[in-house]
Structure 1
Amino acid sequence: MTSINIFQNEHQFQSFSAGQVIFREGEPGDVMYVVQEGEVDILFEEAHLETLGPGGILGEMALIDTTARSATAVAKTDCKLAAINQTRFKVHVHYTPYFALQVMRVMADRLRRMNHRL
């Protein structure tokens, strides 16, 4: 099971056009996203960090520690994202251990990549 499969039955989808900002670094965040279709670029202070495709998770940190967005997300292509608010996030973490593990893996992978860049 992949994270994209977990969210196929979600009812909260948002579509973004190529070049459209999904969220900006420094903004408050109350939702995370899972890429269903298309690609999203993640930027930090205008530097490209990564490109996420289907199954990619973004914005999860705002739901975990309730701080401002740490990066900017921009639609690289037209894309469709599953929007997960705080309540749905907690439900998925509680009832779908695989989801919680996927979020931890994403965060661990990002931390490792940042360590290698230092």
Structure 2
Amino acid sequence: MTSFNILKREKDVRSIEAGQAIFTEGQAGDVMYAVVEGEVNIVLNGQVLETIGEGGIFGELALLDERPRSASAIANTNCKVAVIDLKQFSVLIQQPPYFALDVMRVMAERLRRTSGSD
């Protein structure tokens, strides 16, 4: 279990219906998300790159590089997601149980998968 479970306590939790876009590729982004319940698909060019379940995060690159979204996030099931803005993220990365390290691990795993060096 990662430290992302601390995000269940976040005040801004949104309910998303299955099939609804949370964000789309190319869209500006200033928040990241954590799945509190359900599943979210990360989609690029119509292909599912990853399905993120409870405790997983997505959209974190928008907080780190301030560039448009590199893929779309679509609710695979009815779900609840915690919304984390830059201010909240800045606080979380300084808190145990090592939120920042978990974010880096997720990013490294995704990079390895996309580069074929799994």
- The answer to whether structure 1 residue 15 and structure 2 residue 12 are counterparts is no
- What runs of 5+ residues in structure 2 fail to find an aligned partner? none
Please give the alpha-carbon distance, in whole angstroms, between the structure 1 residues aligned to 2:3 and 2:38: 15
- 8 Å contact from structure 1 (residues 34, 56) kept in 2: yes
Q: Which has the higher helix share?
A: 1
Give identity over the alignment, percent: 55
Query: Per-residue deviation at 1:97?
Result: 5.7
Superposition TM-score, scaled by structure 1 size: 0.93
Superposition TM-score, scaled by structure 2 size: 0.93
Please give the alpha-carbon distance, in whole angstroms, between the structure 2 residues aligned to 1:97 and 1:29: 26
Partner of 1:94: 94
Query: Per-residue deviation at 1:115?
Result: 1.3
Q: How does 1:21-100 map to 2 (within 5 A)?
A: 21-96=21-96, 98-100=98-100
- What runs of 5+ residues in structure 1 fail to find an aligned partner? none
- The answer to whether structure 1 residue 114 and structure 2 residue 114 are counterparts is yes
Please give the alpha-carbon distance, in whole angstroms, between the structure 2 residues aligned to 1:4 and 1:66: 22
Give SS of 1:94's match. Answer: coil
State how many pairs are aligned. Answer: 117
Give SS of 1:91's match. Answer: helix
Please give the alpha-carbon distance, in whole angstroms, between the structure 2 residues aligned to 1:61 and 1:2: 19
Give SS of 1:103's match. Answer: helix
Query: Per-residue deviation at 1:95?
Result: 2.6
